[in-house]
Amino acid sequence: MPVIRNLGRAASQLLQGSGCGCGVSLVPVRAIGVSPRQVASDASFHSVTFSESDHPRVLITGGLGQLGVGLAKLLRKRFGKNNVILSDIRKPADNVFYSGPFIFADILDYKNLREIVVNNRITWLFHYSALLSAVGEANVPLARAVNITGLHNVLDIAAEHNLRLFVPSTIGAFGPTSPRDPTPDLCIQRPRTIYGVSKVHAELMGEYYHYRYGLDFRCLRYPGIISADSQPGGGTTDYAVKIFHDAIKTGKFKCYLRPDTRLPMMYIDDCLKATLEIMEAPAEALTMRTYNISAMSFTPEELAQEVQKYVPELQMTYNVDQVRQAIADSWPMNFDDSNARRDWGWKHDYDLPELVTTMFSYLGSDSRVAQAN
């Protein structure tokens, strides 16, 4: 498969991440030169049974992105430092490398990924490797390889080794024909980005593997995620991170979306909490494999008004990026997450005022913010 090999080299140069999976006995056998009999034998030989009281052994792929490092920190507090392995294809910063186990893992390298799962006795996998919306549109072949081919590798390894698998989805999994205000869990999904198409594919494949092979697949549709300790990564909602950095550094911010563009958003602590909660939820409590989660919904103009309470002289201007604006206009304005709140008790902690206060408490050592306070 020379095309995939070449794309794998491109991925190694351009992006974060890698992955692995979760599984059962009836599994599809990939075209990797391994016979069905050998796969069955290997799966039986390497499987490890864990009791309810034992901590999971966790692998996080694409771990150097916006969410992976924070998730690793949360999980290590809960399950122990050495039970959570962070992985990516990029070199980690020293503070990340020395904070706990880190390995190189490329999700397009099926054999290596399988070895990682077997050698480390992985039982839970969080699959974060992906190209985001705007970046994916700039390189569709690479996004297709990473977001779809990489997912297939993860699903097959997950099914083979009986893992509990989490794959995040997104507001980008909906399109212009979906109900936008609010958007329910189940409705028409016709996204118009390769990122969105790949996430709908992940949702459906994960559900299929659950019903066909018994895979313990769990998925949350994230809104835009805002955090203080990561830089914008090419997503359409990243303006809501960049505004804080620019407000502190220069007192000026140029937004690439219209001032009235309403999108669902969430502070990273709520996102990580929800991710852990869905993974720990009893299987019998889950009525679906993919859930919406929500916390708040706002426009650039509303966010700027809240930021100006801390940086009164903030100058907000708009230079609309037609590509990202078209993406945002096809996405939900509000998420209906009533099923998550009913089934496993989801409840957010941060609304817009709390979000802005928290962001400036991390970033606001600058005299401009201090004077405002």
- For the annotated catalytic residues, the residue numbers are 195
Give every CB contact of residue 116 below 8 A, 6+ residues apart in sequence. Answer: 20, 59, 85, 87, 103, 105, 122
Count the Cβ atoms, other than its own, within 10 Å of residue 252.
13
Q: Is 86 helix (H, G, I), strand (E, B) or coil?
A: strand
Closest Cα to residue 249, out of 92, 367, 83?
367
Q: Is 268 helix (H, G, I), strand (E, B) or coil?
A: helix
For residue 44, with 0-12 CB atoms within 10 Å meaning exposed, 13-18 middle and 19 or more buried, which class applies?
A: exposed
Query: How many Cα atoms occupy the beta-carbon half-sphere of 77 within 13 Å?
Result: 8
Give every CB contact of residue 61 below 8 A, 6+ residues apart in sequence. Answer: 17, 18, 19, 20, 87, 88, 105, 107, 125, 126, 127, 128, 129, 154
Query: Which amino acid, residue 243?
Result: I
Give every CB contact of residue 363 below 8 A, 6+ residues apart in sequence. Answer: 228, 244, 245, 248, 369
Tell me, rounded to whole angstroms, the distance of Cα 154 from its chain centroid: 15
Cα angle vertex 342, ends 344, 357, to 5°? 75
Closest Cα to residue 146, out of 208, 265, 234?
234
CA gap 171, 163 in Å, rounded? 26
CA gap 295, 41 in Å, rounded? 46
